[in-house]
Amino acid sequence: MCFAFNAVAHAESYNNYMRLDLGAAFLSDVKNDRDWQGVKKDKDGFHYGLNYGYQIHENFRGELAISRMDGMKVKGGNSSSQKFDTTTLMAKGYVDWPVYDATKLYLSAGAGVAVNKAGKLYSENVIRFDESISEGFVWSLGVGSNYMLSDCLSADLQYNFYDLGKIKTPSVYANGVVRQAPIFKARAHSVTVGLSYHY
């Protein structure tokens, strides 16, 4: 049962926690391996995730995090557009700095696997690239703050930068020619709020 926050009781009793995050993802940088008509960000998306964490030390904790960025799009100069969704599974480390009994600031770094899904692509001449799924390496850096609402509930506000790796779209054979789609390298910013249960 959760009560009003007690720093001593919390430090002695609760090392594990589960956190639910919800926020927004903003594509910051989209680069492709060839000139694809000035590709640029077209739409930002949502970011949500579930995390299991363990407080190893007063100033250090680790997390296993699964999250999803949904609804992002890029667009080329010839009205080509494509939707991207990304699911990540990451191990994260946090360095905490308590600034008051119930409040702390932190830095984080993480690495893991990203499953990037590229939606169907429609170009000006109606050639379509079917959707595809590619796996790759993802890493992140973050900063945030945590406030203990009670002995077993806390609220987070955090920012993360993600390098999502490569997002591939398959080539197709059309009109006697192999049409090669670009391979993107995507990066994103994320701002989320979270609610943690400590046990």
The pLDDT tens digits for 119-133 are 776 665 555 667 778
Which is more confident, 40 or 59?
Answer: 59
Q: Give the DSSP H or E segment for 11.
A: helix 7-13
Residue 164 CB: number of other CB atoms within 10 A?
26
In whole angstroms, what is the distance from residue 139 CA to residue 91 CA?
Answer: 9
pLDDT at 5: 60
Closest of 107, 132, 116 to residue 68, by C-alpha: 116
Q: Where are the domains of the chain?
A: 15-198
- Mention every residue, 6+ apart, whose C-beta is less than 8 A from residue 57: none
Q: Which fold has domain 15-198?
A: Porin (2.40.160)
Torsion angles phi and psi, residue 94, rounded to 5: -125, 140
pLDDT confidence tier of residue 187, bands split at 50, 70 and 90: confident
In whole angstroms, what is the distance from residue 13 CA to residue 163 CA?
Answer: 36
Torsion angles phi and psi, residue 35, rounded to 5: -75, 105
The pLDDT tens digits for 43-102 are 889 999 999 999 999 899 999 999 999 988 877 655 567 788 899 999 999 999 999 889
Q: Which pTM does this prediction carry?
A: 0.83
